[in-house]
């Protein structure tokens, strides 16, 4: 592991070699990393955009906008979800700001539900994509554009705002369609490090949060992260992650209070996608139900984060007493910007210590390419090639995998089912039962969202994952505008594409496929009982 004392000054002077294996530095990698370090200065440089962002929010209030739907994936949406559900976000919405909703799914039931209940005249869409060409974002934009155009005619463009990098197809599309505004983000900031850029500030302002306050809190944290000793909050967290990972405790179990629960999803993407490559990395476990301290395996390290108002549910004293490494963090409930920067800096530190480039994602494209190949068959007039396994076969295969589970292996459940309470409860019950029986860590990824988050770790991280891919028949067939397939076909192709990519990396994976039904939770419980 690289010497921690030299990492902080090297990061701040943008010494790109700090993230390359010693003796294997290259100019190509240096240029790529150098074009991803704009987040370091974001608390200062983004302040110049605060007035424009706030002016947009004031327009929304003045025009009586009731709902803002953010269309985005991964780093373009997860930070907004954290802000939406935080205490500060709830307080802002209570002051009369629009409600923010995240659209990061290709599930037909979710899309048609939004379309069915929205009032077009009082609805805005925020279309967010760094690349401008993300397939989910492009498909969702076309779908909701067609709905808004049908309802509002030429006025539809006034209900859309884009956030993207300069020169993307989304920038051109926004100009062509007459979007109300287009915010061009600095191109030297990667998606998962963009919480303190326009991708985070615009949705924050729209729900009534003060972007200046977010940036001031982040700037205070950034100042603290210049320290070279243990008082540096980002260094302390990053060093903890790297040290425990290098000693086999690579399941970073993040314990959060209820008010910060969705922060875990953002941390999960940031850390897993940044470090999970070349057979190593840190996997955040962010949404497990608490266990008895003795039920955790030796592959665990813990971080607890509390505010002056809210405490975690887990018994952190018992966890520490059982001999598990535990780092206790605190934050002010009104300092979310500071927490974003702390974790970004910590991830950069951990990457440097582990000699990992945290700013690339070399395995993400694999699932995308396989999905494109599957959809190309449909475009050419064929059907999606899919032969899902029978339920009994899936249950037997899952039972065999569960029998082999033990730390350091973990179970990753990758669900393409609609996000509904009964289904989520069935999965949570199964995860708890597996944990009690095996001590193995468990994660839940909702597809296709996880493809832009932990998908990199699943394929690029250590070969310790056991995966359950859950798909189901949709009751509807909603066309993707200007494409010869439906959202259901797109979602299925994404699931199959990722399953194929996992298999190509020789990962242990089982698929469960459910028929079209209303009681999917009941069907899952039946399969899970057989597997256990």
Closest alpha carbon to 416 in 480, 501, 493: 493
Integer CA distances (angstroms), 504 to 68, 218, 497, in order: 40, 41, 11
CA dist list (Å): 117 to 67, 69, 111, 123, 168: 11, 12, 10, 11, 31
CATH class of 4-34+225-353: alpha beta
| Rounded CA separation 313/290 (Å) | 7
pLDDT classification of 132: cutoffs 50, 70, 90: very high
| pLDDT value at residue 92 | 54
Domains 4-34+225-353 and 364-531 share a fold: yes
Which of 3.40.50.2000, 3.90.950.20, 3.40.50.10490, 3.30.450.260 is the CATH number of 364-531?
3.40.50.10490
Q: What would the mean pLDDT of 168-183 be, rounded to a whole number?
A: 98
Percentage above 70 pLDDT, the chain: 98
What pLDDT digit, counting tens, does each position of 431-446 carry? 999 999 999 999 999 9
- In the chain, DSSP finds a helix count (H) and a strand count (E) of 21, 13
> What's the average model confidence in pLDDT over 212-226?
98
Q: What is the structure's pLDDT at 88? A: 57
If you ran DSSP here, which 8-state letter would residue 324 be given? -
What pLDDT score does 5 carry? 80
Q: Measuring CA to CA, which residue among 248, 253, 241 is closest to residue 356?
A: 241
Residue 470 pLDDT > 60:
yes
| pLDDT reading at 179 higher than 90 | yes
Residue 94 has pLDDT above 80, yes or no: no
pTM of the shown model: 0.96
Angle at 171 between CA 170 and CA 175, to 5 degrees: 110
Owner of token pair 């859950």? 470
Distance CA 110, CA 372 (A): 23
DSSP 8-state assignment for residue 277: B
Judge whether residue 318 has pLDDT over 90: yes
Q: Alpha-carbon distance 306 to 47, whole Å? A: 28
pLDDT at position 118, please? Answer: 97
89: pLDDT confidence band, cut at 50, 70 and 90?
A: low
Helical residues (DSSP H) of 167-258, grouped into ranges: 169-177, 198-206, 211-224, 233-246
> Per mean pLDDT, which range of 70-74, 283-287, 390-394, 487-491 is the poorest?
390-394
CB 49 within 8 A of CB 182: no
Residue 162 in contact with residue 183, Cβ under 8 Å? yes
Cβ neighbours of residue 153 under 8 Å, at least 6 residues apart?
none
**In the chain, where are the structural domains located?**
4-34+225-353, 42-215, 364-531
Residues 276-310 have pLDDT tens digits of 999 999 999 999 999 999 999 999 999 999 998 88
Query: Helix/strand/coil (H, E, C) string of 398-461?
Result: HHHHHHHCCCCCEEEEEECCCCCHHHHHHHHHHHHHHHHHHCCEEEEEECCHHHHCCHHHHHHC
Distances (CA, A) of 153 to 59, 60, 141, 178, 373: 20, 19, 16, 12, 36
Q: What is the pLDDT of residue 382?
A: 82
Torsion of CA 401, 403, 408, 409, to 10 degrees: 10
pLDDT at residue 309, as a whole number = 87
Measured between alpha carbons, how far is 66 from 49 in angstroms, rounded to an integer? 24
Cβ count near 216 (within 10 Å)? 16
Tell me the average pLDDT of the chain: 95
Q: Provide the pLDDT for residue 86.
A: 82
pLDDT reading at 358 higher than 80: yes
Tokens describing residue 342: 């702390």
pLDDT of 24 reads 77
Phi/psi for 223 (5° steps) reads -60, -40
- Domain 42-215 top-level CATH class: alpha beta
240-273: per-residue pLDDT in tens?
999 999 999 999 999 999 989 999 999 999 999 9
- Cross-strand partners of 414: 445, 469
Q: Which single residue is written with the structure tokens 């069907």?
A: 523
């Amino acid at each position: 592991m690289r010497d921690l004392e030299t990492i902080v000054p090297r990061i701040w002077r943008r010494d790109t070699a700090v993230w390359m294996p010693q003796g294997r530095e290259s100019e190509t990698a240096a240029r790529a990393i150098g074009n991803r370090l704009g987040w370091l200065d974001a608390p200062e440089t983004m302040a110049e955009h605060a007035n424009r962002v706030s002016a947009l929010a004031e327009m929304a209030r003045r025009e009586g906008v009731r709902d803002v739907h953010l269309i985005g994936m991964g780093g373009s949406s997860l930070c907004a979800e954290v802000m939406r559900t935080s205490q500060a976000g709830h307080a802002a919405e209570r002051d009369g700001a629009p409600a923010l909703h995240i659209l990061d799914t290709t599930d037909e039931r979710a899309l048609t539900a939004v379309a069915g209940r929205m009032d077009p005249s009082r609805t805005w869409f925020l279309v967010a994509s760094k690349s401008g060409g993300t397939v989910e974002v492009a498909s969702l934009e076309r779908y909701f554009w067609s709905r808004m155009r049908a309802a509002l005619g030429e006025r539809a463009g006034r209900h859309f705002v884009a956030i993207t990098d300069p020169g993307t197809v989304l920038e051109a599309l926004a100009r062509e369609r007459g979007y109300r505004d287009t915010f061009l983000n600095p191109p030297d900031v990667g998606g998962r490090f963009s919480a303190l850029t326009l991708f985070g500030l615009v949705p924050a302002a729209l729900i009534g949060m003060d972007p200046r306050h977010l940036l001031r809190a982040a700037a205070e944290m950034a100042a603290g992260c210049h320290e070279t000793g243990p008082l540096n909050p980002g260094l302390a967290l990053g060093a903890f992650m790297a040290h425990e990972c290098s000693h086999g405790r690579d399941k970073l179990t993040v314990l959060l209070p209820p008010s910060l629960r969705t922060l875990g999803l953002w941390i999960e993407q940031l850390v897993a996608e940044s470090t999970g490559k070349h057979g190593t990395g840190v996997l955040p476990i962010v949404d497990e139900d608490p266990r008895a301290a003795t039920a955790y395996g030796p592959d665990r390290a813990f971080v607890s984060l509390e505010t002056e108002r809210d405490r975690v549910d887990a018994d952190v004293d018992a966890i520490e007493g059982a001999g598990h490494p535990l780092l206790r963090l605190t934050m002010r409930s009104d300092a979310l910007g500071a927490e974003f920067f702390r974790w970004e800096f910590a991830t950069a530190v951990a990457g440097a210590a582990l000699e990992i480039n945290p700013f690339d994602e070399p395995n993400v494209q694999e699932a995308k390419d396989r999905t494109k190949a599957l959809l190309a068959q449909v475009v050419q007039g064929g059907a999606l090639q899919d032969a899902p396994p029978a339920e009994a076969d899936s249950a037997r295969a899952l039972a065999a995998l569960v029998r082999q589970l033990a730390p350091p292996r973990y179970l990753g459940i990758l669900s393409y089912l609609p996000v509904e309470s009964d289904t989520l409860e069935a999965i949570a019950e199964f995860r708890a039962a597996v944990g009690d029986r095996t001590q193995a860590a468990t994660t839940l990824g909702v597809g296709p969202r996880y493809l832009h988050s932990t998908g990199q770790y699943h394929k690029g991280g250590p070969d310790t994952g056991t995966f359950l891919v859950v798909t189901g028949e949709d009751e509807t067939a909603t066309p993707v505008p200007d494409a010869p397939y439906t959202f259901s076909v797109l979602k299925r192709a994404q699931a199959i594409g990722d399953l194929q990519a996992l298999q190509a990396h020789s990962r242990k994976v089982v698929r469960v496929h459910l028929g079209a039904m209303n009681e999917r939770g009941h069907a899952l419980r039946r399969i899970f009982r057989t597997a256990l």
